Amino acid sequence: MIAAEFLVAGNAEGDVLRLEAPLSFWGGVHEATGEIIDTHHPQHGQSVTGRVMLMPGGRGSSSSSSVLAELIRAGVGPAAIVLGERDPIIALGAMVAEALYGRSVPVLVLGADEYERVSAWKRTRIVRVAQGATLEEVEVRQSH
């Protein structure tokens, strides 16, 4: 179990999508599908929908906030975002989505060691606690 700092509080569970590079939601993620459309991004073609995005940080303009809020409103946003460094633009998008649409997507920040540890996980659960959040690895079960 790992302790984390919340930028936006909430509970979530999902498969981990580890991004190898920062991502701008503006022009980087399709608003209707949740697919990473930035052709220069290492995870181009992956979907963020319902996944716990593990990314070193955000990239790009302040418009990323509105695109993230729209992804969440449309139901194709991530389940949670776990960052390696603080990113107020990403946090703002999640806060706006919660205020306008009543949909919570937690945004957390981890230290370098914890970030690398979570990078090896396939699935994680994020639970809100009094002092922030905890992340725990969730066993992935194969369907028959």
Distances (CA, A) of 12 to 21, 61, 112: 23, 26, 21
Reported residue count of the chain is 144
CA 63 to each of CA 35, 42, 92, 123: distance values in angstroms, whole numbers, following the listed order: 17, 21, 10, 29
**Catalytic (active-site) positions:** 61
The two most distant CA atoms of the chain are separated, in Å, by: 44
